[in-house]
Structure 1
Amino acid sequence: MQHFWWYIASLAAGLLPFAIASEPLVTLPYGSFQGNTSRSVTSFLGMPYAQPPLGNLRFAPPQAPEAFDGVRLATSYGAACLQQTGSPPQGLTIKLSSLADVSEDCLFVNVLTPAAVNTSNKLPVLFWVYGGAFVEGSSASNPGNIIVERSITLGEPIIFVSFNYRLNAFGFLASEEVENAGLTNIGMRDQRFAMEWVNKYISSFGGDPDKVTIWGESAGAFAVGLQMIMNNGDAQGLFRAAIMESGSAYALRNVSAAQGYYDLLVNYTGCSGQADTLACLREAPAEQIVEAVNLTPTTFNYTGHNLAWQPRLDRDLFVRNPQHSLLMGLYTKVPIISGDCDDEGTLFSLGNLNITTDEEFLQYIGSNYIPGATPAEIAAVGAAYPDNPSLGSPFGTGDADVLTPQFKRIAAFTGDWQFEAPRRLTLSVISQTQDAWAYLFKRGKSTPYLGAYHSSDLSEFFTDIDYIGTDALINFVTNLDPNAPAGLPANVSYLSGIQWPRWTSGNVSPSLLTFQDPIPTFNFTSDTFRAAPMALLTALSLQMP
């Protein structure tokens, strides 16, 4: 509540109008930007945080933006980075969005502040990393206006920052050639560079560079977990807390596992005969590279979460299995919130409808997800995730939603392998040194075949549906605790008077804040479901390099 009286004083002084007469202006060392104020939020959109990654800067680490004269408009989102596109999978019962404004020139940052803020306020900052399986996504897809507006209502004003980072081959090209050139994991380097931009410049917007919380969903959550592991956990003070929404640090594959995708691009672009294929790819038309990328698998294909384009072990940013780094204590020591949807795996199992027998299931998980496992270990996974629809995902739906004989089984395994087991491992380790909280999203269980599917919780945080998730975010960013501050009236927030217990590794039944139907129902459940199967998956994941 330390900012509550700031809010009251601002109202009294008329500093929170629905329209501001003069347009806001911010001056940074490399140039000035004119933003826009609407209602109680001032926005600076589409500001470059790095040089356009074109020409020799394609596949290269981000470089500081060039200085310019005059004032640039910052009133609309910049172009999204080039996307991988594909056909929706059979059986999909939800609509997928698509982006029209995309470009290779895409390294833009957006800053949303309370309209009354000035450079002396030093407000906490929420730094958003979008998802999209490292191949698609945009900072424009989830504007933070509602979050900033809600923070003002709570008397805990914060600043919301979002940005674009390079995707698919433009951000996660991997091969022997790329590794030798020291150009791996460029998308992760974009993310870190954007954090450095915030550290340098957020004070000019009224933010506190020492009070930054990083938050991501899906691939963005994987990225947040991996940012905590990068450089052996040395975050250089760029953030003081982290939120992982459907994703945690997971066992990465080696650069060599992506060599075939690099070779595909080289062949498709006519670079196979060149002495320096990487230099040739830099000169290839971007549209041609996108065409080649679109020939590679997405999460909706048979390979599922064995992604073609993703972070890789590169003997530079990531020198070992990130989960080993966690167990070695080589992670950023900050408080966290981590949570998942109940049916994380359903959406990514629609590309495997041709798997219909027990033998095919076992062969699939062995070859695609756990290639180093022995036949006995694969058999153990099969026993832990049996051919019984009533035990599959969507969980708790009995024999319903049986799209194919193995669909619910594959979905249960995929969700636990990629999301639930890594989350539980992350919490079990980090909670030993830091405060940690966890949640489970179980709304929408009646959605055919998908249940409480991956990404279905986004509206909980980015809309005014009930503000429970949004309020938890704001409380955490402000106080490093998602619980409502003492004295907040019950008619302001559903979290008022509620105690969300910390997730602790010493507790045999750690608590999950669980979102239930109907809205705004929530309660607390135990994080003990599927304990033995997930322990097996974690053990197998830790056997990976």
Structure 2
Amino acid sequence: MVSGDVTKPLFDRAVLESGALFSVYNIPSLVQAGFDALVAAVGCSGQTPVLDCLRKVPAQKLFDSAAAAGVSYLPAVDGKYVKEQQQVALSKGQIYKIPVLVLDNNDEGTYFTTYITSQDDVNALIDSFTLLPADNTQAKQIYTAANFGSPIAAVANFFGDIVFKCPDIQLVRTLTAAGVAAFKGRFSIKPTINLAAGDAFFSVIGVYHTAEMPFVWNYNPSLNQTNYEKSISQKMINTWSDFFAGSPFPGLLTAGINWPTYDSTGKRLVWSSTGTSVETVPSDLKSRCDFWDAANLRFSSANNKL
């Protein structure tokens, strides 16, 4: 949506679940040190060409070493397919102007942050998401145990906001401002199969990242056959299908529901165990997303060249 010739879209609508725009793409100055550490860790330092050496490294060793070195395989600004940081492109309105349906889950960050036990852990994770110094300081003032009730709640909200929820909202805001139909949803159903099995991990992470996937794909092994889950799955499938088939806008009328466009009021559809309802995005989340929109644009603008 933000690469290539945005006047010639390759598709005419899109569904995005749990994530939209990265806060920043890779460029050499941001990731060279990590790459060098990876090369050294697998014994390829001084080899020419280094890629030939890396290709001979067993996949598992390469994967484990990359994780240890903090190497993230994200899209990269290459000057051809991705010409600049997407936050910069978005600020210029350089994006496919197509209808989108965007869904995220209540607790997007919990799946990744259960190891957090203290505010120091929270701050260390914030540091790993490189920000300009002033924005880094402000993020640490926002995401505290005092504000959210516990370190794990603070970090789950931080991770969920910066990676999933705020990029989602930024996308629908941008398209709405351009006069394009954008639909925002919140998935609020905690799957019961893992809970019934007594899985301790799933019992504490709420409506986690990927929780909606069995519903969207009608994946029976992860759906309870005796409660509401199968019927909600069918309604989601009908809704997604109607959206792709070109249901009229504004408003997605499908499967017995009316999914309103996001528009200036910030309306979104909530999927819960009792059905669907409409709500307005909470003001505190909007405020945090205002911060991330500005902070990510500042950092992207400062790191926009190869």
TM-score (normalizing by structure 1): 0.46
Cα distance change, pair 373–538 in 1 and its aligned pair in 2 (3 A):
farther
Name which of 167, 172, 185 aligns with 1:422. 167
Consecutive unaligned residues of structure 2, counting only runs of 5 or more, are: 196-201, 221-229, 301-306
Aligned to 1:230: 3
Q: Which has the higher helix share?
A: 2
**What is residue 184 of structure 2 aligned with on the other side?**
438
Per-residue deviation at 1:232?
5.1
Task: Quote the Cα distance in structure 1 between the aligned partners of 2:34 and 2:110.
Answer: 26
Provide the residue aligned with 1:252 in structure 2: 24
**Which residue is 2:252 aligned to?**
483
Counterpart secondary structure, 2:103: strand
Please give the secondary structure, in 2, of the residue aligned with 1:523.
Answer: strand
Instruction: Give the aligned partner of residue 226 of structure 2.
Output: none
Cα deviation per residue 1:335-392 (whole Å; 9 max; x = unaligned)? 11111001101111124x2x513x5533541x21133232xx434323333323xx64
**Alignment match, 1:149:** none
Q: Aligned equivalents of 2:133 and 2:78: distance in 1?
A: 23
Alignment partners' CA distance in 1, 2:41 and 2:144: 42
Aligned counterpart, 2:60: 290
How many residues in Structure 1 have an aligned counterpart in Structure 2? 274
What percent identity do the matched residue pairs reach?
20
Aligned ranges 1:489-528 → 2 under 5 Å: 495-496=255-256, 498-504=257-263, 507=264, 509-518=265-274, 521-528=275-282
Counterparts of 1:418 and 1:265, CA distance in 2? 24
Task: Specify the SS of the correspondent of 1:275.
Answer: coil
- CA separation of 1:294 and 1:470: change in aligned 2, threshold 3 A: same
Query: Do the aligned partners of residues 259 and 370 (structure 1) sit closer, same or farther apart at CA in structure 2, a change above 3 Å counting?
Result: closer
1:329 pairs, out of 90, 93, 107, with 93
Shift in CA distance, 295/269, structure 1 to aligned 2, threshold 3 Å: closer
> Aligned equivalents of 2:259 and 2:105: distance in 1?
18
Contact preservation (8 Å) 1:265, 1:289: no
Find the aligned partners of 2:46 and 2:145 in 1 and give their Cα distance: 49
Within-5 A mapping of 1:124-163: none
Contact 1:255-1:312 at 8 Å conserved across structures = yes
Answer yes or no: is the 8 Å Cα contact 2:41–2:65 preserved in 1.
no
Q: What is the Cα-based RMSD across aligned positions, in Å? A: 2.7
- 1:295 is paired with a residue of what secondary structure? helix
Q: Secondary structure at the match of 1:522?
A: strand
Q: Give 2:130's aligned amino acid.
A: I
Residue identity in the other structure for 1:322: Q
Is contact 1:512–1:525 with CA below 8 Å preserved after alignment?
yes
Offset of residue 484 of structure 1: 4.2
- Deviation track 1:164-212 (CA, whole Å, cap 9, x = no partner) reads xxxxxxxxxxxxxxxxxxxxxxxxxxxxxxxxxxxxxxxxxxxxxxxxx
Match of 1:384 among 122, 138, 142: 142
**SS of residue paired to 1:292:** helix
SS in structure 1 opposite 2:104?
Answer: strand
Partner amino acid, structure 1, of 2:259:
W
Residue type at the aligned position of 2:168: R
Matches of 1:245 and 1:360 in 2, distance apart? 28
Per the TM alignment, residue 409 of structure 1 is displaced from its structure 2 partner at its CA by: 0.7
Note the C-alpha offset of 1:277: 1.4
Residue type of the alignment partner of 2:293 = T
- Alignment of 1:311 with 2:75, yes or no, is yes
Change (3 A) 1:472 1:513: same
Report the equivalent of 1:362: 123
Q: 236, 243, 267: which is aligned to 1:469?
A: 236
Contact 1:385–1:413 (Cα < 8 Å) also in 2: yes
Matched residues in 1 for 2:243 and 2:90: separation?
23
Tell me, yes or no, if the aligned pair for 2:38 and 2:65 is still in contact at 8 Å: no
Task: Decide whether aligned partners of structure 1 residues 362 and 271 sit closer, same or farther in structure 2, where only a CA change above 3 A counts.
Answer: closer
Q: How far apart are the structure 1 equivalents of 2:137 and 2:50? A: 42
Is this contact kept in 2: 1:381–1:533, CA < 8 A?
no
How far apart, CA to CA, are the structure 2 residues paired with 1:517 and 1:325?
38
TM-score scaled by length of structure 2? 0.79
Structure 2 equivalent of residue 540 of structure 1: 295
Distance 1:289 1:262, change over 3 A: farther
Residue 237 of structure 1, CA deviation: 4.2
Asked if the contact 1:460–1:468 (Cα under 8 Å) also holds between the matched residues in 2, the reply is no
- Residue by residue over 1:32-51, the C-alpha shift from the partner in whole angstroms, topping out at 9 and shown as x without a partner, is xxxxxxxxxxxxxxxxxxxx
Letter aligned with residue 262 of structure 2? W
Letter in 1 for 2:252: N
Greater radius of gyration (CA): 1
The 8 Å contact of residues 23 and 162 in structure 2, kept in 1 or not, is answered as no
Query: Structure 1 unaligned runs (5+)?
Result: 1-227, 393-398, 400-404, 486-494
For 2:22 and 2:42, locate their aligned partners in 1 and report how far apart those are by CA, in whole Å. Answer: 32
Tell me which of the two structures has the higher relative contact order, counting C-alpha pairs closer than 8 angstroms and 6 or more residues apart. Answer: 2
